Amino acid sequence: MAATLHDVARVAGVSIKTVSNVIHNYPHIRDNTKQRVLDAIAEVGYRPNLAARGLRLGRTGVISLVIPDLRNAYFSELAEAVMRAAAAHDLSVLIEQSGGSRESEIAALKGPRAEFVDGILFSVLELGEEDAPLLADVRVPMVLLGERIFNGPTDHVTMRNTEGTRAATEHLIEVGCTRIIALGSHPDEEVGSAALRTLGYRQALEAAGLPFRDELVRPVGTWHRFDGAEAMREVLASGIEFDGIVGFNDSLALGAMRVLSERGIRMPEDVAVVGFDDIDETRYSLPTLTTIAPGRDEIAKRAVEMLVERMDNRDAPPEPRELLTEFTLVRRESTAR
């Protein structure tokens, strides 16, 4: 049978109230008493009943993180950053993968998680401004992540997509590139990461007096390595001349770099490459990948802080806020001409 507070109190030689005070981190407890209780908890293997505690306190100590796709390295590393940020507030994180379709994101909003968590961090990929009223019906505090539903009914934390991609493209121009592939566009998208990053690419070309060439803007289905590799094979087969690549995320850039290496195309001597996201793998690729670090840890930290503030003020939540984190251009071997 599972150990109980009575078991802990008996082994520690203290009252049940003292055990409860230690578990809830009550400040006015002698150090030796606290240590006896902690030792007893370890000895009997006591685990708090979070469900019962949630019913008692109106809190579960758990928040939900809804992300589109764990295969995407950015989202898996974001999840890890959110877990670290939540731990600083004594919160656990329930991670759910939405799949990134509009239907699945709506289903996630209407799912049963509100019964089990204190708040939700939702990285939206397909829902748009017209879906903002759906957010108002969610019964627990929520903070949005990503590039959709600005001016919605809750807080929104995101990155500087346009400015970051403009800086990446400007860096390629600075090292001598004049025909730069934009890898990762979604031609029919008006709002979202791909549209915002295409805009940054275009702005950099215009500022440098370089023409915007439709054939250099390469669409992909998703933003995985195989999409970058396939798009690069198509570019090479077409005979298009290019001397730089700005990948709309690191995975696309890494997939393209693999194909370039297979074909004997040197980086950065023949083609300079920049990615976006600063995932861990970029430090170990050959060559190491220059990239835009979008402030992932800051996104996680501030989003959790905003969510906790909403959880603590459910009766009088703050007015919706929008926060854009700062980015950094991380120069590495793939552009070191």
What sections of 88-130 are H helices per DSSP?
102-110
In this prediction, residue 243 carries a pLDDT of: 98
Q: What is the pLDDT of residues 317-331, one digit of tens each?
A: 889 999 999 999 999
Mean pLDDT along residues 250-256: 98
Give the residues across from 119 on adjacent strands. 63
Mean pLDDT along residues 234-257: 98
Mean pLDDT along residues 122-134: 80
Q: Is 129 a residue whose pLDDT tops 90?
A: no
| Torsion on CA atoms 316, 117, 124, 86, rounded to nearest 10 | 90
Mean pLDDT along residues 167-193: 93
In this prediction, residue 48 carries a pLDDT of: 64
In this prediction, residue 146 carries a pLDDT of: 86
pTM recorded for the entire structure: 0.80
Q: Is the Cβ–Cβ distance between 177 and 243 less than 8 Å?
A: yes
Q: What is the pLDDT of residues 189-236, one digit of tens each?
A: 877 899 999 999 999 999 999 999 999 999 999 999 999 999 999 999
Q: Which of 130, 108, 132 is nearest to 120 (CA)?
A: 108
Q: Is 54 a residue whose pLDDT tops 70?
A: no
**pLDDT band, residue 160 (cuts 50/70/90):** very high
Q: What is the residue-averaged pLDDT of the chain? A: 89
Which of 107-134 are b and which e, b meaning 16 or more Cβ less than 10 Å from the residue's Cβ?
A: ebbeeebbeebbbbbbbbbbbeeebbeb
Structure tokens at 15: 């009252």
Give the residues across from 142 on adjacent strands. 120
In this prediction, residue 265 carries a pLDDT of: 98
- Give the least confident one: 54-68, 92-106, 185-199, 306-320: 54-68
In this prediction, residue 52 carries a pLDDT of: 56
- Report phi then psi at 293, rounded to 5: -90, 110
Q: What is the pLDDT of residues 279-297, one digit of tens each?
A: 999 999 999 999 999 999 9
- Report phi then psi at 163, rounded to 5: -65, -40
In this prediction, residue 125 carries a pLDDT of: 80
Q: What is the pLDDT of residues 85-118, one digit of tens each?
A: 999 998 999 998 888 778 888 877 776 666 678 9
Q: Is the Cβ–Cβ distance between 201 and 213 less than 8 Å?
A: no
Handedness of CA 164, 169, 173, 175 (dihedral sign): positive
In this prediction, residue 138 carries a pLDDT of: 81
Helix, strand, coil percentages, rounded to 5, for the chain: 45, 15, 35
In this prediction, residue 20 carries a pLDDT of: 82
Percent of the chain with pLDDT over 70: 93
Task: State which amino acid sits at residue 2.
Answer: A
In this prediction, residue 135 carries a pLDDT of: 77
Cα 60 to Cα 91: distance, rounded to the nearest angstrom: 9
In this prediction, residue 49 carries a pLDDT of: 62
Three-point CA angle 57, 58, 61, nearest 5°: 85
Q: Is 130 a residue whose pLDDT tops 80?
A: no
Most confident of 23-37, 84-98, 102-116, 265-279: 265-279
**pLDDT band, residue 22 (cuts 50/70/90):** confident
